[in-house]
Every structure is written in structure tokens, then in C-alpha cells.
Amino acid sequence: MIFIYSLLLLFTFCYTHKININVIHSSILKGIPQLKLHHIILLTTTTTKEKTIETETIAVDFSPINQPSPVTLLKLLAGINVPAEIRIRQTNENISNSNSNSTNTDSIIENICLQHDEHISKQISLQTVQNIKNIDLNNTLHKILQWETYMNLYTHNCQHFSHFVKNIV
């Protein structure tokens, strides 16, 4: 029994990791930058393995497809469900203060909010998940991808999504 406990303790020291979560509040519309109601979630893992430290930071958000379209915006305001996507992007930035207006925050927002064709965006997200080295982070992202991809401004939006992610992590 002591031998098993010793192995577990040794394993913990040799291979430890934890997923940290931060939420960046960003603007919903480019025309109104003060309206910071959109949530972008940062998931960061630091893995220590045989005296080597590896850090991975992933930005995740939930946004309507074709967001700039007036038709999409009107449907959202009317409480009608619209197609949405979970965007997952690799980033080298690490933010400790989620309300920071730093260049790092702007870089993350710009990276995740780049407008891509819906299919290209999904490919980028899936490729990002495939490239994750940390097993726990990879498993967490697979759970996050189970979120239903429709958006309703009042009942199924990015803030509901960030609460869902917090409960998983």
C-alpha cells in the first residue's frame, strides 16, 4: 500500500497540470466598443513534466454565424434562434486580469473574432483541438464542443456559454 501511495505521489510531482480559466469581456458590436457584453474564454494549462514547463492557452467563444448581417441582428433582437459556432483558437497570450484593455487582450480578441467562412472557421477550431498536447485540456474542449450551436440572444448566448464552460472546467 505504501508503494502505491509513493508511486502516486511521484507521478503527481513528475506530471502535474491544471486548467485555469479567465473571461475577457469584449464588445458585441464594433460600432459600440463600450458595450463589452461578449465573453471570450481563455483556458490555460501549465504542465510540468520532468523539469520542463509547457503552457498552452486556448481562446474559446460562442458567436452567431454571419454576425454582421442585419438579418441576423434583427433575428437575435426578436429572440429568434440563429445558427452559431464555437470558435477555438490557439494563442500565446496569457491574461491574468480578464478586464484588462492591454495589447494582449486586443490581440486575442482580434485573433478569435477574425471573420472566416463558416466552414474554414470550423476547420480551424477542429485543427486547434487536434493539436492540443494536454490531455485534460483536449478532453475539456471535446466536452465544450457538445454545446448546441444555435444562438438566442436571451436564452442561449455567449454568457450562458461561458457559464457552461466554467462548470466543465
Res. 100: pLDDT tops 60:
no
Top-confidence residue, 134 or 98: 134
What percent of the chain is helix, strand and coil (3-state, nearest 5)?
40, 30, 35
Top-confidence residue, 129 or 14: 129
Strands 19-26 and 52-64: unpaired
Tell me how far CA of residue 48 lies from CA of 15, 23, 109, in angstroms: 5, 24, 28
DSSP H or E stretch at residue 40: strand 38-49
Query: Average pLDDT of 12-34?
Result: 76
The whole model's pTM is what?
A: 0.78
User: What stretches of the chain show up as alpha helix (H) in DSSP?
Assistant: 2-14, 70-77, 103-112, 118-130, 135-144, 158-168
Q: Which residues contact 76 (CB under 8 A, 6 or more apart)?
A: 64, 82, 151, 152, 153
| C-alpha grid cell, residue 153 | 440572444
Domain locations along the chain: 2-168
Sign of the alpha-carbon dihedral angle for 156, 77, 68, 41: negative
Tens of pLDDT along 63-90? 999 888 899 999 999 999 999 999 999 9
User: What distance in Å separates the CA atoms of residue 2 and residue 47, rounded to the nearest whole number?
Assistant: 26
